[in-house]
Structure 1
Amino acid sequence: MAFTHRVARRDDLPVLVPVIEAAIAELQKEFLDDGQIAASRAIMGLDTALVDDGTYFVVEQDGRVAGCGGWSRRATLYGGDHSAGRDAALLRPGQDPAKVRAMYTHPDFARRGVGRLILSLSEAAAAAEGFTTLELMATLSGEPLYRAAGFVAVEHLSDDAGGVAVPLVRMRKPIAAAVG
């Protein structure tokens, strides 16, 4: 059966949190050690501003949440509600890159097109608002998907907010103009 998608609502949060937790715990095992996975919880998670802004998507199959993710017209590049340094300033379409944010796939649905669908939805929505570039902060487990989708690494760094350095990759991609 095909995936369906919709814009996330606040009442989806209790169902999304376990998907996010499972993705963090399982999908990073090939790329990070146990300490880095534990530390990544301090820098990852859902920013509910995305839900409130209507830019966060839920992907489902047969009534199960397969994944979630979205984009933002705000300055924060990554992190959840609990993360320090969030910036709610609005970005300028055509000048600033829109941000792809909080992409998570349930491990049962990994490598089946969930991430690509969310990227496609995010790109189309950002283009419709006049953005010409997307930017994201990739985990090492997400980087192969983003490269395959046309993103290019612009900076390699790490975040040690969780007490252990977690490697990250800032990536960008030009996007096509929205078709009217």
Structure 2
Amino acid sequence: MSSSLPPAIAIRLARSDDMPHLVRLQLDSIQTLCAKDYTPEQLEALIDSKANIRVWQEQIFVAEIAGQIVGFGALALCQPSINALFVDPNFARQGIGQQLLATLEKAALERNIRCLWVSASLTGVPFYQAQKYETVCRDSVWLSLRPVPVMTMKKVLIPPTQSEIIWTWIWYSLLILFVICAIVLPLIS
């Protein structure tokens, strides 16, 4: 009886020559994995918005199995958010997304990001929930003049310390006191 081990996943930084492949992988992933959660019009808008090479300021990590790109994730450089996390549909639900997300979270921690945000597709919500992301609100992004529903989610990577909580409480208390004084003092003078 032979046991088949899952293939080894290697994660590396993306190179410029990876970009055309990442676009194709992203489009395949949207068409295949998101079809049950979005209307054909919404899928078309999603696909149209992702049809170009990524040009945002982001750190992109690529997952490979035996030299084949099977997924990628992108961490924004100018804000504490995940811009993308896509897995080839032929390799979905094999732990690739989890490893990419762990890599993105580690990169965020290295940049001292304490809380990571994501606008998750409806398809991705259960995945992020399983990775301890909490839902903040339901939202929409407008793509090709169509609203496409997403879920804004966040994960606290480094919880605030007790002293940070106390200082925040003091700061808000002083702010409230200032507002009260600004309202009351003119009334009594």
Both structures adopt the same fold (TM-score exceeding 0.5): yes
**1:21-36 matches, cutoff 5 A:** 21-36=27-42
Which structure has the highest helix share of the two?
2
Larger Rg over CA atoms: 2
**Runs of at least 5 residues in structure 2 that lack an aligned partner in the other structure:** 1-6, 160-189
The whole-number CA distance in structure 1 between the counterparts of 2:42 and 2:34 is 9
Q: Does 1:47 align with 2:70?
A: no
Q: Does 1:69 align with 2:73?
A: yes
Q: Which runs of 4+ in 1 moved over 6 A?
A: none
User: Contact 1:159 / 1:168 at 8 angstroms: preserved in 2?
Assistant: yes
SS in 1 for 2:107: helix
Find 1:15's aligned residue among 21, 26, 43. 21
Q: Does 1:121 align with 2:103?
A: yes
**1:149-168 matches, cutoff 5 A:** 149-168=131-150
Find 1:56's aligned residue among 60, 69, 77. 60
The TM-score normalised by the length of structure 1 is 0.78
User: Amino acid of the residue matched to residue 137 of structure 2?
Assistant: E
SS in 2 for 1:32: coil
User: Amino acid of the residue matched to residue 62 of structure 2?
Assistant: V
- Give the corresponding residue for 1:81: none
After superposition, the CA RMSD in angstroms is 1.7
Report which structure shows greater RCO (CA 8 Å, sep ≥6). 1
Q: Deviations over 1:43-65 (max 9, x none)?
A: 44663334xx5x21000112211
User: Amino acid of the residue matched to residue 126 of structure 1?
Assistant: A
**Runs of at least 5 residues in structure 1 that lack an aligned partner in the other structure:** 76-97
- Give the corresponding residue for 1:110: 92
The whole-number CA distance in structure 2 between the counterparts of 1:74 and 1:43 is 20
